[in-house]
Structure 1
């Protein structure tokens, strides 16, 4: 979407409101220039002694009062219809951007830190809101005022009007210089604000490490550097706003001096009346307002254009073609209950030479329980992210039934495959609301929520909370322990049935025995669903139908627990080591 298309789309979306706003803004400006005309006529009648003159004077005063009251009403309406589109545009853009971010692949999110995206959604969208709201109002106010006011001034005295234009013309040349410099500075300010937001997000995510390693002084110094850079940029913008933008105000003051000087001379020569001089001075005041607004309009325009450029980073990002073509309902039904197959899967991250997964093949038929064992760095999490297509896997490597997963949308794949990670994200909501989050099905009963709490071995813990499943878990589940958060994420995944549940070290925060009990309970209930359990603990995988042993990205053995103890030295050594650790913990 180009900038022209961007403007066309949102102007069209708010066209009725904008059209009414333009009508009301025109009426406001017309009333503004008509009132001084009647004031002029009234002043010229003040010296009149006849009853006709006095009656006419009262009529003009009445007209001025009616116009002034009407102008208040019309001005309120103009603001309503001009400012509302800014808020409407901001709300629509936030929805569009959120939907787009949800559909963009992992490769996009790798390029942009979360803090930068948050800065775009908040700071940069504020500039767009001002552009489509306040910017629109002030632009048309200035445009109509600068069109109508000089015309009414010309009707009084063309010569005096030309004198008035001279200082304004000089001021516009100076204003133009500052306007050009402002554009570059606003772009720099946006980038520095995004960098600060991204850095803050990174430090907040690792706040525990920063505290434990006493890294606070270093973090403060790094943030201080970014703050000083941002302050320097902001001060440069402020200097321009202080020294260049007010030049139009100075021009307006000079214009008033010229009007008083030249107008007074013309009054003494009886070329103008006192009423005309008064009206001309009133018009100069009316002309001053849009001239003063030009500096603010320029700032709003620059912020808005910078915001649009920033927003286009997301809007113009390419969504993979297959993600734009969701499966039809018959296709979805035909894929239910199919085998997930991995065929000669090899994977390396972009820009790296090292192969993370090397020629891996296995199947997960319906109802089968498969385990993946491997040490840290063996490629377990990478394998999981390939299976759920979180990463861009090579074509013809992962199949659901006979269909390559790279040929249909990721959102469709996740109807069949749910992943529970070892670092679950919980919202600052109740236990029940966190469980219900993400479920596509409508009308899920309270009993179903209770069932998944039992399945995840969390029911007893929840019952001990003060408000049960209505207890607020706090931001990121801060009120819960690590094991409780992981079990809550399991309950969330179990709420809506799917063909395959992938559990990636989901119970790493509980002890060996608790992990085995939870998995035993789950397997007893999930007899028809396929399960892939990824773990570095042998005890957690003892009851799997098949265990895949990963080592340095390669499958070095397959089989059940008993056979692997006999045939795979790596598996046996790992099991023996962990048995010793478990005995030590028990003591």
Structure 2
């Protein structure tokens, strides 16, 4: 239950709306409790001499009070249920905003389906608590309070008899409620597993179909769905038992009330109208008592859901702005880059460093390439530049300043980053390129597409730059996707441009045209290029060769060839591969 305390800030924000809602709950219950008095009065009148006008007067008053109770109940829902929707709106915004602040490492260890499940299913459970849960909890309290007072005013003895099942009720709520919370949490975890599987299968549907795994994936879904089904059935059975116990206790409480009430009527200590009124009050308690089980279920679900949400909301980003960051830093900071004795290990693998004692520098406008075998640490190295990860030792400097002293927004505005994995939004080509355009101008989009050698391809599409892309750019070729991502980074107008194997899907002539465009159009931009192609990197000012997380050698293309070491071996190997390909 303590997990729900996280919601107190939201409740305080809407305290006046909720206060009005509580006030209207008070009024609706007052009128609801007053109404049965006139039913009892009408019954007693008909036991002796009466006129139709007197009876109709009592019935009329009952109708007025019942109508007032209904009007205020409407106002209750307008204030409390509507407020729950507003808090849900705030919670969703906060949840999504918090996700944007979390570090890359968080998303490395948390599945997309899990995050979607918590932001939808779990949030809905919390909303139910904030709306019906709060409304019916307060309504039950007032209804029980006023009904018991009204019942005690008629007959304290009958009131005690009616409340005999209360201890059993409390025990049922406590014991069965704990079981419901455990089962609810298990169900929510199963729902997250299903969501994750569906998300992965839809995103990777082309792989599934390529390997004809449709039946196998359908079977996996069926197994997860069956587990989810059986868990829900088990919960439904427990809830059915809960409601059956509550209803039975209510029905049993009427037996002694009617028996003793009848005796009191016979001996003249109570009237038939009084007993009728008392029975109405007991009946009025039926929904509040039954709602105890329903509300308990809502609260248990919400507590479980909020605990899962809190796991995300309480997660602190690994990488944050420094307290002393210069918020007014200029984006025209010199685009020089320096690694000083940088080492890095992924969390949990501290004994297996990916990078060890890396030191090099890039002056403004220099074009530097990084080459090495797969898994040598090239991509990890460039991920440190925009602080997607933090080095475990050493430091990275831009413009002579440690990047950990710069605000993240300022740092990342200096760096245009094109990762290995291309991602495009389901939007127009212009919007995808303009995603990195601070000014949002079509001129920048066109200029960036020209440098990326994409302009002619886009013009070949019927809708040009307004061509809508499918999911992740499915209607573009691999090379067009890469060039679109490069254009997006160029539209950002970065001081430092990082291309992590971003030219692997284009042919050598296109690659040469893009590189020439970078040299001519962006002479002041520092370029850090990762590539497996010697033809790509040989025109760079300097080449850094990485082997097993360490710098093996560095120099120009000609210098490295002359040394005859690792780079020369890579070069000769690629020449041989090219010759074999030409023969084939």
SS at match of 2:285: helix
Q: Matched residues in 1 for 2:299 and 2:519: separation?
A: 60
What is the CA-CA distance between 1:375 and the residue it aligns to? 2.4
CA contact (8 A) 1:342 1:398 kept: yes
What CA distance in whole angstroms lies between the structure 1 residues aligned with 2:376 and 2:172? 65
Q: Deviations over 1:93-147 (max 9, x none)?
A: 2222222222222333333222222221122112211111121111111111111
Is 1:345 the counterpart of 2:342 in the alignment?
Answer: yes
Structure-1 separation of matches of 2:181 and 2:23 = 31
Query: Which range moves more in the overlay, 577-586 or 244-253?
Result: 577-586
Q: What's the TM-score, normalizing by structure 2?
A: 0.92
Give 4+ residue runs of structure 1 displaced > 6 Å after superposition.
none
Separation in 1 of the partners of 2:345 and 2:99? Answer: 24
Describe the shift of the 1:37–1:339 C-alpha distance in structure 2 as closer, same or farther (beyond 3 A).
same
In structure 1, C-alpha distance between the alignment counterparts of 2:9 and 2:507, rounded to whole Å = 56
Distance 2:304 2:139 in 1: 23
Could you tell me whether the CA contact under 8 Å between 2:144 and 2:288 is conserved in 1?
yes
Alignment of 1:112 with 2:110, yes or no, is: yes
CA distance in 1, matches of 2:92, 2:237: 32
Unaligned runs of 5+ in 2: none
Q: What is the aligned partner in structure 2 of residue 285 from structure 1? A: 283
Residue pair 1:192, 1:230 contacting (<8 A) in 2 also = yes
Give the conservation status (yes or no) of the 8 Å contact 2:419–2:501: yes
Per the alignment, residue 565 of structure 1 pairs with 561
Spell out, residue by residue over 1:398-424, the C-alpha distance to the aligned partner (whole angstroms, 9 max, x if none): 112332223444333212112111212
RMSD (Å), alpha carbons = 2.6
Alignment of 1:258-277 (within 5 A): 258-277=256-275
| Aligned counterpart, 1:507 | 503
Q: Which residue of 1 aligns with 2:11?
A: 11
1:157 is displaced (CA, Å) by: 1.9
Give 5+ residue unaligned stretches, structure 1: none
Aligned length: 581
Which residue of 1 is the match for residue 79 of structure 2?
81
Contact 1:380/1:550 (<8 A) preserved? yes
Q: Does the aligned pair in 1 maintain the 2:337–2:398 contact within 8 Å?
A: yes
Moved more, 398-407 or 210-219: 210-219
Residue 531 (structure 1) shift? 1.4
Change (3 A) 1:189 1:438: farther
For 2:303 and 2:4, locate their aligned partners in 1 and report how far apart those are by CA, in whole Å: 11
Matched residue SS, 2:330 = helix
Aligned counterparts of 1:586 and 1:392: Cα–Cα separation in 2: 47
CA–CA separation in structure 2 for the residues paired with 1:3 and 1:91: 19
Corresponding position of 1:486 = 482
TM-aligned CA distance change 1:102 to 1:225, over 3 Å: same
Contact 2:319 2:389 in 1 (8 A): no
Which residue number corresponds to residue 457 of structure 1?
453
Relative distance call for 1:4 and 1:241 in structure 2 (3 A) is closer
Give 1:220 shift: 4.4
- Whether the 8 Å CA contact 1:48–1:54 is kept in 2: the answer is no
Distance in 1 separating the partners of 2:436 and 2:193: 31
Work out whether residues 321 and 406 of structure 2, in 8 Å CA contact, stay in contact via their aligned partners in 1: yes
- Residue deviations 1:74-104, cap 9 Å, x none? 2111112111232222222222222222222
Q: Distance in 2 between matches of 1:426 and 1:268?
A: 84
Q: How does 1:390-469 map to 2 (within 5 A)?
A: 390-437=388-435, 439=437, 441=438, 443-469=439-465
Question: Contact (CA 8 Å) 1:325, 1:409: kept in 2 or not?
Answer: no
Q: Is the 8 A contact 2:416 2:493 kept in 1?
A: no
Report the equivalent of 1:35. Answer: 35
Distance 1:311 1:494 in 2: 38
Q: Map 1:98-497; keep pairs closer than 5 Å.
A: 98-320=96-318, 322-323=320-321, 325=323, 327-330=325-328, 332-333=329-330, 336-352=333-349, 353-437=351-435, 439=437, 441=438, 443-497=439-493
Residue 69 of structure 1 corresponds to which residue in structure 2? Answer: 67
Q: Is the contact made by 2:265 and 2:272 (CA closer than 8 Å) also made in structure 1?
A: yes
1:222-257 residue CA offsets vs partner (Å, 9 max, x unmatched): 444433433333232122101123311111222334
For the Cα contact (< 8 Å) 2:365–2:527, is it kept in 1? yes
Distance in 1 (alpha carbons) for counterparts of 2:147 and 2:57: 24
CA distance in 1, matches of 2:268, 2:195: 66
After TM superposition, give the deviation of residue 305 of structure 1 in Å. 0.7
Q: Take 1:349 and 1:135, find their aligned partners in 2: how far apart are those partners?
A: 44
CA distance in 2, matches of 1:118, 1:202: 12
Please tell me whether the aligned partners of residues 335 and 414 of structure 2 are also in contact (alpha carbons under 8 angstroms): no
Displacement of 1:208 in angstroms is: 3.8
Cα distance per residue 1:147-175 (max 9 Å; x no partner): 11121122222222221112343333233
Structure 1 residues 568 and 333 mapped into 2: Cα distance closer, same or farther (>3 Å)?
farther
Inter-partner Cα distance in structure 2 for 1:231 and 1:398:
52
Q: Distance in 2 between matches of 1:329 and 1:408?
A: 8
Q: How does 1:533-544 map to 2 (within 5 A)?
A: 533-544=529-540
